[in-house]
Structure 1
Amino acid sequence: HIALALNSNAKTVWKRAADIKTVAVDCPSGLDLDRGHVLTDFDYEDEDAHPWPKTLNMADLTVTFHAPKIGHYLGMGPALCRKLSIVDIGLEDLQAERAMLGMPPDPSRVRLVEPRFLGRPLSKRIWPKTAFSKNYAMGHKYDHGHVIVFAGGVGRGGAARMAARAALRCGAGLVTVLCPPSALIENACHLDAIMLRSLAKDQPLADVVDGRASGFCLGPGMGVSDGTRNRVVEVLGRRAEGSSWRDPVVVLDADALTSFEDDPDALFKHCHERTILTPHEGEFARLFPDLSGPARKDLSKVDAVRQAAARAGCIILLKGPDTVIAQPDGAASLHAAAYGREVPWLATAGAGDVLAGLIAGLAAPHLSSDLFVMTEIAAYLHAEAARGFGPGLIAEDLPEQLPKTLREMGC
């Protein structure tokens, strides 16, 4: 009822006339701290209903106590809280964080992807530096991973090239782009440090890729087709060979996901623990329609991704300003580009392709940390690179910004 005391117009006039700053205690009234939604009783079937929530309040400063809540970072939380201050009130922390960044996550908690632990900043020497394989003095290029990126046909190779460049920039020892024979010359005109091989539609992958490949990135620019589906299934069937001690990482994005829209279970039954799906909300809805949009109902974005990861049997990263990462055991992380880390210019075509390449490049090395940990780093690095470049960013700028960003992060 406090939230309804003044309607939105009255509050605007009142604040403007008196130049009043508002402070919210715990959260602005009306904000659901479990989901980051504004509560509303809007009835879609009522022609006279107004969709604008009656309880929409925005604070200049939000003060919360002991620890932040998920809703401070999800959905409309950052926009309504504006600035967030967390105050220690001396509570005995019986449920202290048990797994800092760089370690496998705690399934009972949602981890915020920011370099802090137990309320204190994490040294760059601890995170993310120790997770990168190239921080070790020794090693052959193959020790740092060989990433295979699949490209589409003529005129559709740009997305794969950006993903490949991101994988190489973030530390992979080798990166190879595979494309149809007809697109070979086009890609050769754009690639130097990245290797290039042709792969015909029905040609077995083993003809051109040996057992040293430790990472695969499929989807960007491949096209939605049965051919893409078949190639995804073939790659998911590969296992560790030779001196490799774990299966290759498989990053599925874009067309590699949409190609299974009609039968998501045909994808899920082949996924394994070294698989990660990286959809945006639209692609997520195609694979998990019952966990998307209005069907999500009372579930938070975190809970929806947790359920999706359990169903798919692999890690899922659901992109957005509030990126959520979850794995089948329920462990989840939240990376929020908020409270001084906003990156609106990251909403540009191809940025997701770069993120897919980052994950593949970071997770492919034999000495890298586990896939979940490297995915957290990729999400953070992706945003930091965009922040470092600033306004005017296009996706092609991201790989070129990575060396500077990696230095600033202490890697």
Structure 2
Amino acid sequence: MSAADAAAAASGLSSFGLMERAGRAVAATALRHFPHAHRFIVLCGPGNNGGDGYVAARALAESGAKVAAYAFGAVEALKGDAAIAFAAFASSALPINAYTPHDGDVVVDCIFGAGLARPVPDDVADVMRCVANEGLPVVAVDLPSGVDGRTGQVLGESFKASLTVTFMARKPGHMLLPGRSLCGEIEVFDIGIPRRILEAGAGSVTVNGPHLWPQLDHALNPSSHKYTRGHLGVFSGGAFATGASRLSATAGLRSGAGLVTIAGSVAALEVDTTHLTAVMMKEIDRGEDLAHWLEDARIHAFVLGPAFGDLERARQYVAMLRERRLVLDADGITAFREKPQSLFELFADGEVRLVLTPHEGEFRRLFPDIAEDEKLSKIDKALAAAERSHAVLIYKGADTVIASPDGRAAVNDNAPPWLATAGSGDVLAGIIGAHLAQGMPAFEAAAAGVWRHGATAAKLGEGLTAEDLAAAVVPLAR
């Protein structure tokens, strides 16, 4: 966004004109959401975010609202557009540490915005704590001050906003935790930067959604049959751990795979057959059994890991599946915690055919050095891991990131909190497996799977179980 701002100014657009539109958007939003505020307190920083604040303060005063401005840093030191904005405000700004909260105040936070790269100073942190203690509503401009716009991490202290006003596009800090939980409602305003300039600086990171898989959902046609819709193989755990594979298999069928087969021991399959009808069963109890099964090229993709249990056998089976499309989840990931490089080497060549689905703990087992690098955002970590493993990474959590070895990444934002329930990850693995079996490229298969997973949970509502989720997978939106 910083690059887009600079490019817009270089193209001949008035940088102060952009600031004027931004500040007036903030004022209009504050008035719309808090029409009964007794007083608007505009806290202004020393940079352009503060300049937005002085424009907003002027617009609020012109509307007839009661306004008081407070500055972090000497206003005499303001430069460029921020200095012009302060001069146009034509009023004073008291030092920020002079602010005393009162009932009826609405705080407009224009101190730091998205570009903060160091912990907030003590006097600003004191104000943040006072505002929080009084329970005052906060309208944050660009991002709540204290939140790193690149990583979403809190740099010492931050405001918790009721509402965040940002410009042109959301930033990583709006999407990644904990920043996401501090922004409140987010409103994005177009302040006039041309789309071509914005896209030139946007890179390959986006919000997850159907725009990532256009024309890849393979709509059925009259000549379709079960094999053209893809055959998915799901490996079962032992006789007392079969539920996870059933969730994956059911989700795979519901997600469009023409055939789904559960592979496991006779004891496990005897349990599975009492619960499933449309899913086929295949006895696979040894490497030799799997080798024979793999002679059938019509099995297009596999899911291995959910409640699998036997880590040594998991490593053996993964090695045999190295030429196939594979979703590796749960125990399948844990099986390689001692020697993760041995997994990466199996899938190092050719098309990307491995999808890894680690949660935080599993990610640390496979990529300990990347996980511990505090300079990296979750997006950065996912991209580094995807490149190292030559796999698509689904770095799970409330702010799930999907990353590809080619540098693309998507942050998911449609998953409700009640999706955090036992077995939901097994369902996700089955959805992605079905997409792979139908021929979707690995990144798009993973992104679409995560999106469908969240959309299904949102449709079902609070209190869902993994069984509900697997049985109700929503259609794949285009």
TM-score, normalised via structure 1 length: 0.81
| Residue of structure 2 aligned with 1:111, choices 206, 221, 234 | 206
Q: Is contact 2:306–2:426 with CA below 8 Å preserved after alignment? A: yes
Matches within 5 A, 1:67-106: 67-97=169-199
Q: Is contact 1:38–1:56 with CA below 8 Å preserved after alignment? A: yes
What is the CA–CA distance in structure 2 between the aligned matches of 1:8 and 1:277, rounded to whole Å?
40
Q: Is contact 1:129–1:135 with CA below 8 Å preserved after alignment? A: no
Aligned residue for 2:188, secondary structure, equals: strand
Q: What's the counterpart of residue 379 of structure 1?
A: 450
What is the CA–CA distance in structure 2 between the aligned matches of 1:154 and 1:322, rounded to whole Å?
34
Q: What's the counterpart of residue 314 of structure 2?
A: 228
What is the CA–CA distance in structure 1 between the aligned matches of 2:438 and 2:202, rounded to whole Å?
25
Q: What's the counterpart of residue 382 of structure 2?
A: 305
1:30 aligns with 2:107: no
The RMSD of aligned alpha carbons is 2.1
Q: What's the counterpart of residue 330 of structure 1?
A: 407
- Between stretches 137-146 and 172-181, larger displacement belongs to 137-146
1:186 aligned partner, one-letter code: V
* Overall identity of the aligned pairs, in %: 39
Q: How many residues align?
A: 354
Q: What's the counterpart of residue 252 of structure 1?
A: 328
What is the CA–CA distance in structure 2 between the aligned matches of 1:281 and 1:12, rounded to whole Å?
30
The structural deviation recorded for 1:136 is 3.4
The structural deviation recorded for 1:224 is 4.4
Q: What's the counterpart of residue 391 of structure 1?
A: 462
Task: Report which of the two has the higher share of helix.
Answer: 2
What is the CA–CA distance in structure 1 between the aligned matches of 2:429 and 2:470, rounded to whole Å?
12
Gaps of 5+ in 1: 41-54, 99-105, 117-126, 239-247
What's the CA shift string for 1:350-372, capped at 9, x where partnerless? 11111011001012114xx3221
What is the CA–CA distance in structure 1 between the aligned matches of 2:198 and 2:325, rounded to whole Å?
32
What's the CA shift string for 1:144-169, capped at 9, x where partnerless? 10000000111111101100110110
What is the CA–CA distance in structure 1 between the aligned matches of 2:275 and 2:170, rounded to whole Å?
46
1:149 aligned partner, one-letter code: V
1:356 aligns with 2:429: yes
1:180 aligns with 2:265: yes
The structural deviation recorded for 1:218 is 0.5
- Between stretches 258-267 and 270-279, larger displacement belongs to 270-279
Q: Is contact 1:335–1:380 with CA below 8 Å preserved after alignment? A: yes
1:401 aligns with 2:475: no
The structural deviation recorded for 1:7 is 4.8
What is the CA–CA distance in structure 1 between the aligned matches of 2:218 and 2:226, rounded to whole Å?
11
1:262 aligned partner, one-letter code: E
Q: Is contact 1:388–1:401 with CA below 8 Å preserved after alignment? A: no
Higher-Rg member (1/2)? 2
Q: What's the counterpart of residue 160 of structure 1?
A: 245
What's the CA shift string for 1:307-348, capped at 9, x where partnerless? 1111101111111111111111211111124xxxx5111111
Gaps of 5+ in 2: 1-71, 73-110, 112-119
1:223 aligned partner, one-letter code: G
What is the CA–CA distance in structure 2 between the aligned matches of 1:68 and 1:276, rounded to whole Å?
27
2:355 aligned partner, one-letter code: I
1:365 aligned partner, one-letter code: Q
Q: What's the counterpart of residue 38 of structure 2?
A: none
TM-score, normalised via structure 2 length: 0.70
Runs of 4+ with >6 A deviation: none
Q: Is contact 1:323–1:334 with CA below 8 Å preserved after alignment? A: yes
What is the CA–CA distance in structure 2 between the aligned matches of 1:160 and 1:201, rounded to whole Å?
18
What is the CA–CA distance in structure 1 between the aligned matches of 2:462 and 2:433, rounded to whole Å?
26
Change (3 A) 1:212 1:304: same
The structural deviation recorded for 1:410 is 5.5
What is the CA–CA distance in structure 1 between the aligned matches of 2:355 and 2:446, rounded to whole Å?
9
Q: Is contact 1:224–1:256 with CA below 8 Å preserved after alignment? A: no
What is the CA–CA distance in structure 2 between the aligned matches of 1:326 and 1:107, rounded to whole Å?
16
The structural deviation recorded for 1:229 is 0.6
